[in-house]
A and B are shown apart, each in its own frame.
Chain A
Amino acid sequence: SQQGEEDPQALSIQEGENATMNCSYKTSINNLQWYRQNSGRGLVHLILIRSNEREKHSGRLRVTLDTSKKSSSLLITASRAADTASYFCATTSGSARQLTFGSGTQLTVLP
């Protein structure tokens, strides 16, 4: 079963704008990861944030985590057409090393 929900399901923006995607989950977690999936391709790991961290940056990516609200957000700044893809959050919890994925946000960046 899916661990959480992502919001919005679809997002369309102009190149250069910022894109924000949200992820909510249900159980306590060890860490939360974000993955990108281009159409017809496998998933690519973007960034990981541990449960004791609140914010993390990587290039144009900024991830926040609020464990009290069981939610995370992914911000992509200065978006490019090449950022067009589906973005998934995934969590690990307990002693398991498996990832449980959300339902994804389809991001379209218009040139």
Chain B
Amino acid sequence: EAGVAQSPRYKIIEKRQSVAFWCNPISGHATLYWYQQILGQGPKLLIQFQNNGVVDDSQLPKDRFSAERLKGVDSTLKIQPAKLEDSAVYLCASSPIMTLPLSYNEQFFGPGTRLTVL
């Protein structure tokens, strides 16, 4: 089974530039997550999709970050304009749809995109 794919793996931009990241989840996984992981910290959820709908984007800085999952499969995360503090690894994860609300959801992570903002 193919895992979660992300591209690019690395990106270096200058502040105020724009950048986009792409994620292709595991086939059949309805739920897709974007996380931001700053060096030395644990991942922080930015946005969660269920199929092509947004479930939670409460921690997404909406003035500069946007994400979409138009066909309910792959997803893009965009930053426009980037700031120095956006330097981080951006992780995409996916999980199957849950039939029970309290069932655990093992998440499958991609390798991440390391963003450096100069």
- A interface residues with partner B (beta carbon < 8 Å): 1-2, 30-31, 33, 35, 40-45, 48, 50, 88, 90, 92, 95-104
Contact = CB atoms under 8 A, between A and B. Distances in A.
B106 interface: yes
Interface in B75-118: 91, 93, 95, 98, 101-102, 104-112, 114
Given A101-B43, A103-B41, A33 B106 contact: yes
Nearest to A88: B42
The B interface, classified by DSSP as helix, strand, loop or mixed, is loop
B110 A42 contact: yes
Interface residues of B, number: 27
B42 A98 contact: no
A96 B108 CA distance: 17
Nearest to B102: A30
B42 A97 contact: no
Interface in B1-57: 4, 31, 33, 40-45, 48, 56
